[in-house]
Structure 1
Amino acid sequence: MNAADALIQAGRALVEAGLSPGSSGNVSIRTGDRVLMSGTGTRLGALEPTDLAELSLDGTHVGGARPSKEVSLHLALYAKNPTHTAVVHVHSPSAVALSCLEPWSEHSAVPPLTPYALMRVGQVPLLDFVPPGDPAMGELITGSRHPFRAALLANHGAVVSGEDAPTAVDSTIELEEACRIALMTLGAPRRLIAADQVAAITQRWNMPWTDDAHQ
């Protein structure tokens, strides 16, 4: 499958999962020194090849549709995770809602409530609010001292990277579920997964997690 087809398929999968209402959200795929990205104002569930923008890794628009204003967000996550080739940004309901609350900890807005989020996402820091499209959003990602493949953008939504497009989509779906469970248990006495088990799971699945004792 070529990059355009993979990106179109990823967009449809996100909409089918209920994570991209209206024309919100964007997705990209990196191939070598080029990034293919959904164009501005497009609906992820109805993408066509003419809706895709081609960019260089410095953000220069080299062809196709007009790119989303969130270019810096995508490029920063590729820079943070050089082996990843796909980035998803969504305004999914639970992720947005949790991004409007104070984070569970300095290194993760999402508490360790289920093993599945630990296996597929790891820690999810909450990044400070900046207006959508502001290049400062990318600087928050590259400047963070914590490793991560997913983050919540304060009062905005989520961004996730993956080794390929299906992985990034699956991780985004898992993150939305983790945010939903965090919201459902808010204010109740939670039973968190023990720190030693969190470390064992994230190490086994090669997911980022900062030791609570060494934040």
Structure 2
Amino acid sequence: MNIEELLRAEICAVGASLFARGYTVGSAGNISARLEDGWLITPTDACLGRLKPEEIAKVSKDGTWVSGNKPSKTLELHRQVYDRNPSVNGVVHTHSTALVALTLNGVWSNDDILPPLTPYQVMKVGHIPLIAYQRPGSPDVAAQVAQWALRVRGVMLERLGPVVWESSVSKASFALEELEETAKLWMMSNPKPAPLQEHAIEELRSVFSAKW
């Protein structure tokens, strides 16, 4: 298998795993991967649990649809991340329940939707800012995400869900899952737990090069 075939297979495997465990439902969410001559992205209104490698859209570097089914309407958002951060090779977006519920109930802050609660949240996810609600596929949202592409691993779209990017599709999905599980912990806790203390976060920076 060549690199493109491997990436198509990885997108399908990650999509099926996320769908099977309830991180996305119906035809919600999308996944993309960088290629040397553009990128791959899941089709519009496709179920992540039933993706077929040959149906995944291929798009050129200038955003032109090359092959496969029609690309997701969030195409421009993915493109902005790839254009601005050369270290990114995979982007995952879901409508994860706990994270969407968090935006409905009120996030911790607009710059950090969750406080630093667990070491793996700090190490594997980091700061996740809130992007105020606009319709799915809005070019204004893509422009706002572009401003964060080099500074964080992802953003939270109000009422829609997380968009997370990493050096691979699989790593992006791992970070997204960690973020969703942290949201579950926060939502189910009453009273709310205190954030990790600064000395604990500094130790994670020192030992594991955590970016918080």
8 Å Cα contact 1:122-1:202 kept in structure 2: no
Cα shift readout 1:180-208 (whole Å, capped 9, x = no counterpart) = 112122x6242210123224325644444
Runs of 4+ deviating beyond 6 Å: none
Deviation at 1:106, TM superposition (A): 3.8
1:90 — aligned with what? Answer: 94
Aligned partner letter, 1:176: E
Sequence identity of aligned pairs in percent?
A: 33
Mapped pair 1:198 → 2:186: no
In structure 2, C-alpha distance between the alignment counterparts of 1:171 and 1:26, rounded to whole Å? 15
Cα shift readout 1:150-200 (whole Å, capped 9, x = no counterpart) = 211011111111111211111111111011112122x62422101232243
Tell me the TM-score normalised to structure 2 length: 0.89
Q: What 5-or-longer segments of structure 2 have no aligned partner? A: none
Tell me the TM-score normalised to structure 1 length: 0.88
RMSD value over aligned CA atoms?
A: 2.0
In structure 2, C-alpha distance between the alignment counterparts of 1:132 and 1:20, rounded to whole Å? 16
1:44 — aligned with what? Answer: 48
> SS of 1:100's equivalent?
helix
In structure 2, C-alpha distance between the alignment counterparts of 1:154 and 1:131, rounded to whole Å? 10
Q: How does 1:1-215 map to 2 (within 5 A)?
A: 2-144=6-148, 147-185=151-189, 188-202=191-205, 204-209=207-212
8 Å Cα contact 1:128-1:140 kept in structure 2: no
The total of aligned residue pairs comes to: 208
8 Å Cα contact 2:56-2:69 kept in structure 1: yes
8 Å Cα contact 2:63-2:79 kept in structure 1: yes
Label 1:184 to 1:67 Cα distance change in 2 as closer, same or farther (>3 A): same
8 Å Cα contact 1:121-1:207 kept in structure 2: no
